[in-house]
Amino acid sequence: MKQEAALRQTLTLTQVTALGLAWMTPMIYFSVFGIAYDASQGMITEAYLLSVIAIFFTAFSYSIMARIFPGSGSSYTYVKQSMHPIPGFTVGWAILLDYLFSPIIACLTFGIYLNAQFPAIPAYVWIVLLNIILAIVNIAGIKFSASLSKLFVLFQILFFAFFCTYLIRGFEGFDDVVQPFTNLDVGLPTILAGTSIICFSFLGFDTVSTLAEETINAKKTIPRAIMLIILVASVLYITTSYLIQISYPGLTFVNLDSAGFELMKMAGGAMLGAIFTTVLIFAIFTQGLTSVTSVSRLLYVLGRDSILPKTFFGAIHPKFRTPVNNIVLVSIISLLALVISLDMAVKFVSFGALTSFAFVNLSVIAECYIKRGQRSWKQTIQYLIFPLMGASFIFWLITLMDADALLLGSTWLAAGLGYYVFRTKLSTALRERRTNLFETPAAVQKHE
């Protein structure tokens, strides 16, 4: 019998961490800076500190489930195995929304920025070009993608360090150092309003769980990578926020959407602004690259489990050892960037990610605390208190989403459940038909 091709285990801890950071895109910090700064009324360091504490609980839940179920299905696998196939499918369908629209966002923003730099070339040219490049690089293999992502993530980290050197030069004394923590006029609700926006800067750490079957010693590597991603992002975001508050107290911006670029020009003039734009374009490219990687692996698992047609989605190319069918399909879907708005795409991604996060927290309680009965005082903290705190915070974030986002997300989930019911009934009917076909001759022989 011919052996089926399988995913190749080649990824190390460094490569997995780089892929996760590439999907997260640290430069997104500057993309949402103006909105977050305004929402928190300038208390952005405190808002980032709270967001790190809040997102830690969900990251901790992912690391626990990655050890227990080291497969490539991410939240879909965790919820399916710990709770039930139906909520498992629901979460898989929700996270599919997140993963499918992430490459669209990358292509769309790539086209917007490069069209702004080169107005003579239409945005759709850049969108199509990026789609083709992302498909080719992903088909070539996960190891090449990881190496490229590591390089571009390094560029982003170096830019953060470069930018911070501009800020440090303006320090004048001890008053500067403690200034971010001396403004008592801003209340906790205001800081929390900024926190709810800032948490989206951390989206993406979970994507590394889709790479488990291509990772060396996944049970140890994936949990470590998840926590490393959160640690690196936290250090970058909090340090930069702190230095900005010290250097520029009472900032105001002409346009909140372009506040990051305004901040660059304020700190380092046109030169720093140009460097910022260049690094941001590289960051968008790597985010698109890892987005295609993640969604193609999720589609592969759904196909392998026969949730989606197995012959197409569950196939691995014998030469490249990558899910080529899925990569090509995702690249075609990503052409929606030609017609969809950035706002709508972001809403889809946010709804899918937050739904997945909430259920992963609950899956820890279901698997460890209820099923396995791990209820010592330490285990109660790890497997009940922490995930409950994570789930509560995520559900609170969902309630803050606007009506359009909730409507779009709910419609997607309803369509998915309809598909699940149809496919389940179809599979049952086919099984019954096969059973009847096999049983008829036996019944006739017995009668004779």
Q: Is 1 exposed, middle or buried (0-12, 13-18, 19+ CB in 10 A)?
A: exposed
Cα(314)–Cα(311) distance, integer angstroms? 6
Which carries the bigger pLDDT value, residue 257 or residue 291?
291
Is 45 in contact with 124 (CB distance < 8 Å)?
Answer: no
For the segment 389-399, the average pLDDT, to the nearest whole number, is 88
Cα(259)–Cα(265) distance, integer angstroms? 10
Which carries the bigger pLDDT value, residue 83 or residue 11?
83
Q: Is domain 13-401 in CATH 1.20.1740.10, yes or no?
A: yes
Kindly write down the DSSP assignment for every residue of 242-282, as one continuous string.
HHHHHHSTT---S-GGGHHHHHHHHHHHHHHHHHHHHHHHH
For the segment 398-405, the average pLDDT, to the nearest whole number, is 80
> For residue 351, what pLDDT band results from cuts at 50, 70 and 90?
confident
Share of the chain above pLDDT 70, in %: 90
Helix or strand or coil: residue 97?
Answer: helix
Nearest to 138 by CA among 33, 345, 314, 288: 288
> For residue 175, what pLDDT band results from cuts at 50, 70 and 90?
low
Kindly write down the DSSP assignment for every residue of 299-353, as one continuous string.
HHHHHHTTSS-HHHHT---TTT-S-HHHHHHHHHHGGGGGTS-HHHHHHHHHHHH
What phi and psi, each to the nearest 5 degrees, are found at residue 11?
-80, 135
Instruction: Encode pLDDT of 14-35 as tens digits.
Output: 989 988 898 888 988 887 788 7
Instruction: Encode pLDDT of 330-343 as tens digits.
Output: 999 999 999 988 77
Give me the pLDDT at residue 251, please: 82
Cα(192)–Cα(63) distance, integer angstroms? 26
Give me the pLDDT at residue 207, please: 81
What phi and psi, each to the nearest 5 degrees, are found at residue 410?
-65, -40
The residue assigned the tokens 């088909």 is 139
pTM as predicted: 0.81
For the segment 226-242, the average pLDDT, to the nearest whole number, is 94
Dig out the tokens for 243 from the structure.
């230095």
Instruction: Encode pLDDT of 249-278 as tens digits.
Output: 778 888 776 788 888 888 888 888 888 888
Is 95 in contact with 75 (CB distance < 8 Å)?
Answer: yes
What phi and psi, each to the nearest 5 degrees, are found at residue 176?
-65, -40
Give me the pLDDT at residue 30, please: 86
Cα(41)–Cα(30) distance, integer angstroms? 16
> For residue 6, what pLDDT band results from cuts at 50, 70 and 90?
low
Whether residue 71 has pLDDT greater than 80: no
Give me the pLDDT at residue 371, please: 95
Dig out the tokens for 15 from the structure.
């490569």
Mean pLDDT for all residues in the chain:
84
Residue 162 contacts by C-beta under 8 Å, 6 or more apart in sequence?
A: 275
Give me the pLDDT at residue 5, please: 64
Which carries the bigger pLDDT value, residue 50 or residue 402?
50
Give me the pLDDT at residue 97, please: 86
* 193-207, 284-298, 428-442, range with the lowest pLDDT: 428-442
Whether residue 448 has pLDDT greater than 60: no
Q: Please report the sign of the dihedral spanned by the C-alpha atoms of residue 344, residue 350, residue 356, residue 358.
A: negative
Give me the pLDDT at residue 332, please: 94
For the segment 343-364, the average pLDDT, to the nearest whole number, is 86
Which carries the bigger pLDDT value, residue 31 or residue 90?
90
Give the type of residue at 201: S
Whether residue 286 has pLDDT greater than 90: no
